[in-house]
Amino acid sequence: MNKIIAIYGPTTSNKLGLALNLSKYIWGKYQIDPEIINADSRKIYKGFIVSQSLPSESFLQEIETHLFGIISPKEKLDLFGFQKLVKNKIIEIQQRGGLPILVGGSTLHLLSILQNWKKGEKRAKKKLSSNILVFGIIINKQALKKTVSKNVFQMFEKGLYEEFKKLYVESRNNKVSKDLLKETLGYRQFLEMAQVSKKSPLKLQPKDLTRTKKWVNKDILKYAYRQTLDYKRFQDIHLIRNFNQARKIVDVFLNKRGLPRE
């Protein structure tokens, strides 16, 4: 088995849920063992549990997963370092007869893997191998707005600020992790609020957190909208709205030597 499935979509579009449902379907019908690989640039870091909605324990018990929460925020990991980790994991899974399912919303990171980018090479849009199936999850703007708002509310309820404070303290003597917090949605906004309110990031008050929540919601929604514009950057992407649409395409993909390409 040298095939690969990739699932791309905006944040809160339930990419992992689709990956799990497809995995169960593929195992039940084809007795092929799928394994999920994280292809998101932030979900790879340890401690980013709430901000990145890392898979729950119950999810992890249902399917084999890889590259979630494995790298210290103090370690620098560039695009090609990330690419190498994922490609090595793909090879491992394929060598034991499994089917890698890549899941992520980081456009460049996923493209670098699927199109096999090289350092110094011009990043032109490339046709994919017929052994690669890429899904793009479509979600309309109104639904996206609701899911983002719900997700941000849950993040604060689950302790996003407490998670940030812990990571902030741990990052004090490390430039790499400091920069990572500044660049990560859900953490960056606490730093911005501290600057505006002239307070320590560790001592924000309830009214500060209320404002921060609005900023997080606004910035994540803008990011999600931007992700939906990136479908066109993926050659041969299959845009789907639900599991049933994806299942039918998977049947074609697995029953043949690959997908026909124009």
Tens-digit pLDDT profile for residues 21-43: 999 999 999 999 999 999 999 99
- How confident is residue 128, by pLDDT bands cut at 50, 70 and 90? confident
Q: Mean pLDDT over residues 52-77, rounded? A: 96
Closest CA to 107 of 42, 46, 152, 45: 42
Confidence class for position 261, pLDDT limits 50, 70, 90: low
Q: Which residue, chain included where needed, has tokens 């791309």?
A: 8
Burial 100-120 (b: 16+ CB within 10 A, else e): bbbbbbbbebbbbbbbebeee
235-257 mean pLDDT: 93
Nearest to 117 by CA among 92, 95, 86: 86
Give the confidence band of 258 by pLDDT, cuts at 50, 70, 90.
Answer: low
Average pLDDT over residues 36-56: 97
How many Å apart are CA 22 and CA 246, to the nearest integer?
Answer: 8
Task: Write the single-letter amino acid at 238.
Answer: H
pLDDT at 256 over 80: no
* Residue with the two structure tokens 């579009």: 13
Residues 79-93 have a mean pLDDT of: 98
Mean pLDDT of the chain: 95
Task: Identify the pLDDT of residue 191.
Answer: 99
Domain 4-139+228-255 has CATH 3.40.50.300: yes
Q: Is the pLDDT of residue 122 over 90?
A: no
Closest CA to 160 of 49, 57, 70, 46: 49
Confidence of residue 112 (pLDDT cuts 50, 70, 90): very high
- Supply 31's token pair: 């007795």
DSSP 234: S
pLDDT in tens, 139-197: 999 999 999 999 999 999 999 999 999 999 999 999 999 999 999 999 999 999 999 99
